[in-house]
Structure 1
Amino acid sequence: MGKFAVIAVLLSALLFGGGIWYAQTHGYYAPVEGPVTLVLAAPDGGLTALPAQGVAAIASASSPLGFRACFRHDLDLAALGADIPVEPRPAAAPTIAPGWFDCFDAEQIGALLADGRATAYTAYPNAAYGVDRIVALTGDGRGWAWHELNDCGRKAYDGTPVGEACPDRETYEPLSEGSL
């Protein structure tokens, strides 16, 4: 009887742990089917299309922060800021993607950003309420995108009044693209 109870508890723990692992690494993420919006945001609010090829993207139905994308580009990075009005986003930090989405390695992207071989930019402000889409670009044509909380998002989710600079949450329309 005691052995049966121990086996039942261990089997239950193993199944429960496996369910949590699957939910965190596969269950909440799905490939984005259809076009993915990859643009560069100008300080004045304008958007410039990012010439991206070979886009692979995933998103989470449970959180707007679950978006990740990898792509190639043929953009001349010297034109950024001069011909194309954008500003670097120096504090951008990519978040970890599920292991099966192997084109997005947050540690490698973070290292490229830290040593200056990649530069991050705001791609689309408020892609979801309080969440900006960020892109990181390298001179050799690689690019990645992810979502980060912006000032409005940090305030909204910690309970601080958001203020006039943030969009009205009641009438806000999030970026809609592809399907999960």
Structure 2
Amino acid sequence: MSGKIFAGGIVVLALIAGIAMYYLQVYYYYEEVDVSAEQVTLTLLEGSADPIVADNLQAIDATSSPIRYRACFTTSHSLAMLSETYEMYEGAEPLIAPYWFECFDAMEVGKALEKGRALAFLGQKNIAHGVDRVVAVMEDGRGFVWHQVNEEIKK
């Protein structure tokens, strides 16, 4: 009888720990960013940062990790103009956002990048040690921002 109680206690503790880990990963650390002070910037071909037109900006971030930043926006800039003016980002891999941040669909952005329906640009090199800010813009003007580990850390 005491073995069943002991096993049941382990199951209950594991369930509580699982729920706590899920909550911490998906909700606890993320905060909405005050976008009134935010700008979407891209790196010009010459190397300096330049803000672009970014309407309907929404962003989340967390202090627990430099790669938790995600943002969505719309822009009136064409892909042709952006590609002639700003530095492209090779190897862009959008990171999945929490499901409740509905505007950011990493799978859709990734597929659009693969098929050429979106282009990725360098937002800022080394926004944190070994982490770049990447900005992807789709043909329809939707834009997405995330932080991605760069070659400095991948080595």
TM-score under structure 1 length normalisation: 0.78
Provide the residue aligned with 1:7 in structure 2. Answer: 8
Could you say which residue in structure 1 is the equivalent of 2:103? Answer: 103
- In structure 1, the residue matched to 2:53 is 51
1:37 maps to amino acid: Q
Could you tell me which residue of structure 2 aligns to residue 116 of structure 1?
Answer: 116
CA RMSD of aligned residues (A): 1.6
How many percent of aligned residue pairs carry the same amino acid?
Answer: 39
Give the partner amino acid of 2:56. G
Against the structure 1 CA distance between its residues 4 and 81, is the aligned structure 2 distance closer, same or farther, given a 3 Å change threshold? closer
Runs of 5+ in structure 1 lacking a partner?
156-180
Matched ranges for 1:156-167 at <5 A: none
Structure-2-length-normalised TM-score: 0.90
Q: How many matched pairs? A: 153
Distance change (3 Å), C-alpha of 1:151 and 1:6 = closer
CA–CA separation in structure 1 for the residues paired with 2:72 and 2:9: 43
> What secondary structure sits across from 2:148 in the alignment?
strand
Greater share of residues in helix: 2
Report Cα offsets for 1:49-96 as digits up to 9, x if no partner. Answer: 1100111111121111111101111112221243xx213223111011
What's the counterpart of residue 74 of structure 1? 76
Pairing 1:5-154 to 2, within 5 Å after superposition: 5-34=6-35, 35-82=37-84, 85-154=85-154
Q: Which 5+ residue runs of structure 2 have no aligned equivalent?
A: none
Q: CA deviation at 1:132?
A: 0.9
- SS of structure 2 residue aligned to 1:102: coil
Write the letter of the residue equivalent to 1:30. E
Alignment check: 8 A CA contact 2:126 2:132 kept? yes
Aligned partner of residue 116 in structure 2, secondary structure: coil
